Amino acid sequence: MSSVIKLRGKGVSRIINSKVILSPLSGVTDKIFRKLVRKWAPDSLLFTEMINATSLKNGYGTQKVQQIELEEGPIGVQIFDNRPFAVSEAAKLAEDSGAFLIDINMGCPVKKISKKGGGSALINDRLLAVELVKRVSKAVKIPVTVKTRLGWENKEENIEEFLISLQESGAAMITLHGRTRKEGFSGKSDWNMIGRIKKLLEIPLIANGDIKNPNDALNCFKVTNADGLMIGRGILGSPWKIGEIDYAIKELKGFKEPNIEEKLLLIIEHLDELTKEKGNHGLLLARKHISWTCKNFQGASNLRNKLVRAIDIKEVKALIKNTIKTLNNDQKILD
């Protein structure tokens, strides 16, 4: 199996040296989190959180794409909005900041976004969706891609025809989450349907939904024959997971999952970076990451409860250092 994704839109030819992609995850995949993921995944395409086209023009959104060119490896910027001019302008700003590609969000089920015609609402406004891809592809030189779902209400909405029209409009790659908008996160991602759709497209199709570990990844490839995989919830608390899955796909041996001490030190590293950037607010932002990472070892739940209640970074560090002292040699870094 090849270990690269070849983007193949109109006039576009670019290679990503890994078949595993980090999902755009709102509230998670900021530049600090991406830096952690990158330690284990040098080749993968990583995404920003979804960014509203208008906010990219003012302070908040701009911060999210600033200095992407200084980050290692390819970074995709995901934009949500339904106004072709606004998305094109935002795409140009993201391109100037060093984005590897622009992804248009056509899958987000959140009401606040779909009510205004963005995200998954574009599945129902196919002419506008096609117009968006055409206009943004003209506005930038980098590839334009789409992330969407299997349908709005149900799977009988001829999503295949929709995806083919996006391909004809210039989309260089499509990511398909194997659920409808109505399903949200319920049920299972329909890899069989993704596999059927894969056969109809010429551009790369990325399978998404319920891929959490190397086993899932290899199974998903078998079922879908997709050109790549996108990992969302599997990365929460496990920033090494993209790298681990990439290792398995490339049939490399010897991936070393961080041991307990390394996971605890990762919490400190993440917290340090967040507070450097955001001051005390960094501690609040770190809490969800702490809860996701501090699990699956003896005493984890007790420690987690204390860590998320800690009032400052000093207390977090003291709690973690005291825990590390109690670990046995198998759980520690020995070199």
Ligand X SMILES: Cc1cc2nc3c(=O)[nH]c(=O)nc-3n(C[C@H](O)[C@H](O)[C@H](O)COP(=O)(O)O)c2cc1C
| Residue 147 within binding range of ligand X, rule CB under 6 A | yes
| Residue 108 makes contact with ligand X by CB under 6 A | yes
Catalytic residue among 68, 91, 108, 267: 108
For the bound state, the minimum distance from the C-beta of residue 147 to ligand X, rounded and expressed in Å, comes to 5
| Per-residue contact flags (x/-) with ligand X for residues 20 to 59, judged by CB under 6 A | ---xxxxxx--------------------xx---------
**One residue of 8, 233, 250, 288 binding ligand X per CB under 6 A:** 233
What is the rounded distance in angstroms from the CA atom of residue 189 to the CA atom of residue 250? 24
294 is catalytic: no
CA atoms within 13 A on the CB side of 251: 3
CB of 153 to ligand X, least distance (A): 18
Of 136-144, 190-198, 202-210, 219-227: span binding ligand X (CB under 6 A): 202-210
Rule CB under 6 A: choose which of 61, 107, 170, 237 binds ligand X.
107
List 52, 169, 208, 331, residue binding ligand X (CB under 6 A): 208
Nearest approach, Cβ of 235 to ligand X (angstroms)? 8
Q: Which residues pair with 186 in a beta bridge?
A: none
Does residue 216 interact with ligand X by CB under 6 A? no
- Cβ-based burial of 287 (10 A; exposed 0-12, middle 13-18, buried ≥19): middle
Is residue 190 a contact point for ligand X (CB under 6 A)?
no
Q: Which two tokens stand for residue 75?
A: 């970074």
Of 209, 237, 239, 243, the residue at the interface with ligand X (CB under 6 A) is: 209
Q: CA-CA distance, 83 to 131, in Å (whole number)?
A: 9
Biggest CA-to-CA distance, the chain:
61
Site for ligand X in 264-323 (CB under 6 A): none
Contact 185, 208 (CB under 8 A): no
φ, ψ of residue 81 in degrees (nearest 5): 170, 165
The b/e string for 300-311 (b: 16+ C-beta within 10 A; e otherwise) is: beebbeebbebe
| Choices 4-12, 88-96, 156-164, 232-240; region in contact with ligand X by CB under 6 A | 232-240
Question: Quick one: tokens of 52?
Answer: 């509203």
Q: Pairing state of beta strands 5-7 and 14-16?
A: antiparallel
177 sits near ligand X (criterion: CB under 6 A): yes
Burial class, 73, CB count within 10 angstroms (exposed 0-12 / middle 13-18 / buried 19+): middle
Any idea which residues carry the catalytic annotation? Answer: 108
Chain residues binding ligand X by CB under 6 A are: 23-28, 49-50, 78, 105, 107-108, 147, 177, 208-211, 231-234
